[in-house]
Chains A and B, each alone.
Chain A
Amino acid sequence: MKLEKGIPLIDQHDENGYWGGKFGGNQIAESLNYPIEELTREFEKLRNDETFIAERDYYFKNFVGAPTPFIKLENLTKHLGGAQIYCKLVSKATGGAHKAYNAVVHSLICKRLGKTYIGGDTGAGYAGKMLSMAAAKFNLKCKIFMGAKDVERQSINVFSMRSYGAEVVPVNSGSQTLVDAVSECMRWWTSENEEAHMCVGSTVGPTIFVKICAWSTAQISREMKKQVMDEFGEVPKDMKLINCVGGGSSAAGFWNEWIDYDNIELIGVEAGGPEGSSKHAAPLTNDSPIGVLHGATQYVIQDDQGEIEETDSISAGLDYPGVSPLHCFLKETGRARYTSASDEEAIEAFQLVSKNEGFVSPSLEPSHAFAEAIKIAPKLSKDTIIVVDSCGDSAKDSKIIAERLGYKI
């Protein structure tokens, strides 16, 4: 399995949609074949259409708030000694995370397809919240599928989605979490695809959804490349880019422009779950078996019967049993290194970063990435640059973190 230079990562799949001939694909019911072919054709056209690109950039700039800041974490660098730590503060994007990019692009595509109805899945509620925001802006009817358990524990986000006019559908099947929400959303689309468009909330699902999502979040590295040049005057010789990985949409976007730079190390941090627990959401780190989930081949946490196993992580955004085919490919080609951080390490990282930096207060997802940075930075020289993608803001996790730390709010 080999990575090609000079070809965008999202285009390095074969004619059947498999990266490295193995990961991804369109393992879908025959009734989804036509809408997927239609969407594939339309997207290939749009990504080369200057007016569409201009429209995307306009909304990214004026609504999502691109570019997000690229800053040096001086206090944390000093505290840890060793490598210099920088941060791409994607949490400053409208809505508080990177999910807005994919939501805006899917809404624009939906309109171009002449459809007036959009549906999507959500776990913690971020993808659903941003999709309902975008749908409201673009006058689209919106339906969000969310596991019944998540509806309960993320009630604030559910309220937001409903405020934007979206219909939130609690999914009562299976574990009643993200994995079931995605399944139900795909079932819905199977019935409604003549009138409706589907947005998959991460770089997962059939190939075209992986591509659209990564193409959208690539905005993160596109703007960052310029910021890096402004800061250092050149691409640093020794740079490490650390990102959390659940489905993998944020990491795919954060790394996209840097894949061809061999001197830049890409580190993905999965959710290791509670310390001492065998449950985790780290299929790459723990070499989970390869299987088919939501229409794509990938490493997936499953039992010997092929049944998807429940995952456990303090971070709802990383709590997904599968992982993007893009990351399976990057792992297999050795281009990226994947590791995991436990719930406890993530909480400690959240505390250390917040206490030292104030303006940067990562949500539990990027706290996993910070945990890795904190682990390796002291051992590295000051010539090494570490950049962490702080892809979410801690406000949404206040209650969970406070409870963990023994505060009542």
Chain B
Amino acid sequence: MTSSTLIKSFERAKENNRAALLTYTVGGDPDKKTSLDIFKSIADAGVDIIECGLGHGANIGDGGAIQDSTYRALSNGIKTNDIFEIIEEFKKDYETEVIIMTYQNKIMAYGEDEFLKRCISSKVSGIICVDWPWPLNLEFAKKCKENSIVFIQLLCPTTNEDRLQSILNDAHEVVYYISMLSTTGQKLKVSSDEIKKKFNLIKKISPDKKCIIGFGITADTINDFKDTDACVVGSALCREITRSIDEELNPATNVGNMVTDLKQKLSS
């Protein structure tokens, strides 16, 4: 539940000669209980780190599948406190690390300090904030660090080398590379090799930092990223939750099966 245990998740995967697997689902989708079941099922399937979305209606970075999940959670009355309660409950039985991905207004409305306090008490180990770019986020990032929470800086294909250097210089132990210019869940429009080229550049500048690769990764492409630090699958899982609900199936079981398959593909 601290930055060091988060790093251990990456290292354990590396010992098994693969990248760490991260899943993204929206906390509270479709309700508190099911969302907790989904987390447990994902953890049982062997995920390394759970990225939990604290959804925002007026988001500017989510693709269609994640938006659907967000609106489902919000219209079922899910509040920020509910997300923390789900994570807290989950962490009672599981060691799997949980990081939160959200938008700045959610943190502002909750109060920065209160938000961090609640992250600590529910054992959240990292925060990604989509619309809080470097260097505007530095003050908050510092507060995170003081509380042993990793603030995860974002990088993307159009982050030029100067900016990349500066961000990496200020970054904590983990960064996130947005693999292509798009919202989440769109088809990968650049080659896996091209993504890895940028990944290698990041690693060359900061060999000690763990770099998560996200956006557009599915079961078809995940094996390409086996020798990186970590990759995230999100939209495919959110779509699976939507499909399961529509077809009156158990989302937790189905998402769990999907993660088992992803993990296997990443390990093979």
Give Cα distance in the complex from A328 to B258, angstroms: 48
- Residues facing B in A256-301 (CB within 8 A) are 289-295, 300
Residue from A26, A294, A306 within 8 A of B109 (CB atoms): A306
Chain B contact residues: helix, strand, loop or mixed: loop
Write out the residue numbers on chain A whose beta carbons fall within 8 Å of the beta carbon of B136.
Answer: 16, 25-27
Q: Does B130 contact A (CB under 8 A)?
A: yes
Stretch at the interface among B57-65, B119-127, B195-203: B57-65
Give Cα distance in the complex from A31 to B63, angstroms: 14
Once the chains bind, are B181 and A193 in contact (CB under 8 Å)? yes
Give Cα distance in the complex from A291 to B56, angstroms: 13
Q: What per-residue 1/0 map shows which CB atoms of B167-201 lie under 8 Å from chain A?
A: 00000000000100111001000000000000000
Give Cα distance in the complex from A174 to B163, angstroms: 35
Give Cα distance in the complex from A408 to B57, angstroms: 38
Q: Select from chain A the residue with minimum beta-carbon distance to B79.
A: A305
Q: Does B159 contact A (CB under 8 A)?
A: yes
Write out the residue numbers on chain A whose beta carbons fall within 8 Å of the beta carbon of B181.
Answer: 31, 190-191, 193-194
Once the chains bind, are B159 and A187 in contact (CB under 8 Å)? no
Once the chains bind, are B156 and A30 in contact (CB under 8 Å)? yes
Minimal beta-carbon separation of A116 from chain B (angstroms): 18
- A34-B160, A186-B60 known; A302-B105 Cβ under 8 A: yes
Once the chains bind, are A29 and B109 in contact (CB under 8 Å)? no
Write out the residue numbers on chain B whose beta carbons fall within 8 Å of the beta carbon of A29.
Answer: 60-61, 130-131, 133, 154, 156, 178
- A34-B159, A187-B183, A292-B108 known; A307-B57 Cβ under 8 A: yes
Once the chains bind, are A28 and B60 in contact (CB under 8 Å)? yes
Q: Does A11 contact B (CB under 8 A)?
A: no
Write out the residue numbers on chain B whose beta carbons fall within 8 Å of the beta carbon of A186.
Answer: 60
Once the chains bind, are B60 and A306 in contact (CB under 8 Å)? no
Give Cα distance in the complex from A102 to B58, angstroms: 24
Minimal beta-carbon separation of B108 from chain A (angstroms): 6
Q: Select from chain A the residue with minimum beta-carbon distance to B177.
A: A30
- Residues facing A in B98-154 (CB within 8 A) are 103-110, 130-136, 154
- A16-B136, A307-B57 known; A291-B108 Cβ under 8 A: yes
Residue from B80, B105, B154 within 8 A of A292 (CB atoms): B105
Q: Does B52 contact A (CB under 8 A)?
A: no
Write out the residue numbers on chain B whose beta carbons fall within 8 Å of the beta carbon of A294.
Answer: 58, 60
Once the chains bind, are B109 and A302 in contact (CB under 8 Å)? yes
- A27-B132, A28-B131, A174-B71 known; A305-B106 Cβ under 8 A: yes
Minimal beta-carbon separation of A305 from chain B (angstroms): 5
Give Cα distance in the complex from A302 to B63, angstroms: 23
Q: Does A403 contact B (CB under 8 A)?
A: no
Chain A residues with a Cβ closer than 8 Å to the other chain, count: 36
Residue from A27, A179, A193, A305 within 8 A of B104 (CB atoms): A27
Residue from A30, A179, A290, A307 within 8 A of B155 (CB atoms): A30
Give Cα distance in the complex from A289 to B130, angstroms: 21
Q: Does B41 contact A (CB under 8 A)?
A: no
Residue from A26, A187, A304, A308 within 8 A of B61 (CB atoms): A187
Q: Select from chain A the residue with minimum beta-carbon distance to B63.
A: A187
Residue from B58, B163, B183 within 8 A of A33 (CB atoms): B163
Q: Select from chain B the residue with minimum beta-carbon distance to A291.
A: B105
Q: Does B242 contact A (CB under 8 A)?
A: no
Q: Select from chain A the residue with minimum beta-carbon distance to B110.
A: A306
- A30-B159, A292-B131 known; A179-B58 Cβ under 8 A: yes
Give Cα distance in the complex from A25 to B132, angstroms: 10
Give Cα distance in the complex from A292 to B131, angstroms: 9
What size tier do the contact residues of chain B reach? 35 or more
Give Cα distance in the complex from A34 to B156, angstroms: 10
Q: What per-residue 1/0 map shows which CB atoms of B60-79 lie under 8 Å from chain A?
A: 11110001000100100001
Give Cα distance in the complex from A384 to B160, angstroms: 56
Minimal beta-carbon separation of B146 from chain A (angstroms): 23
Q: Does A163 contact B (CB under 8 A)?
A: no
Once the chains bind, are A26 and B182 in contact (CB under 8 Å)? no
Give Cα distance in the complex from A108 to B109, angstroms: 39
Residue from B58, B157, B183 within 8 A of A293 (CB atoms): B58
Q: Does A381 contact B (CB under 8 A)?
A: no
- Residues facing B in A165-213 (CB within 8 A) are 173-174, 179-180, 183, 186-187, 190-191, 193-194
Give Cα distance in the complex from A338 to B113, angstroms: 32
Q: What per-residue 1/0 map shows which CB atoms of A300-333 lie under 8 Å from chain B?
A: 1010111110000000000000000000000000
Write out the residue numbers on chain B whose beta carbons fall within 8 Å of the beta carbon of A33.
Answer: 133, 156, 158-159, 163
Minimal beta-carbon separation of B189 from chain A (angstroms): 9
Q: Select from chain A the residue with minimum beta-carbon distance to B176.
A: A30
- A173-B71, A306-B106 known; A31-B58 Cβ under 8 A: no
Give Cα distance in the complex from A331 to B158, angstroms: 37
Write out the residue numbers on chain A whose beta carbons fall within 8 Å of the beta carbon of B135.
Answer: 16
Minimal beta-carbon separation of A375 from chain B (angstroms): 33
Write out the residue numbers on chain B whose beta carbons fall within 8 Å of the beta carbon of A30.
Answer: 133-134, 154-156, 159, 178
Once the chains bind, are B60 and A307 in contact (CB under 8 Å)? no
Give Cα distance in the complex from A180 to B67, angstroms: 11
Write out the residue numbers on chain B whose beta carbons fall within 8 Å of the beta carbon of A304.
Answer: 109
- A33-B159, A183-B60, A190-B182 known; A306-B133 Cβ under 8 A: no
Write out the residue numbers on chain A whose beta carbons fall within 8 Å of the beta carbon of B131.
Answer: 27-29, 292, 295
Give Cα distance in the complex from A295 to B154, angstroms: 16
- List 4 tightest A-B contacts by C-beta distance, closest first: A306-B109, A34-B158, A191-B182, A30-B154
Interface of B with A (CB < 8 Å)?
56-63, 67, 71, 74, 79-80, 103-110, 130-136, 154-160, 163, 178, 181-183, 186
* CB pairs A–B below 8 angstroms (5 shown): A29-B60, A31-B157, A34-B160, A305-B80, A306-B80
Supply 7 further A-B pairs (C-beta < 8 A) apart from A29-B61, A173-B67, A191-B182: A29-B178, A187-B63, A294-B60, A295-B60, A300-B105, A305-B109, A307-B56
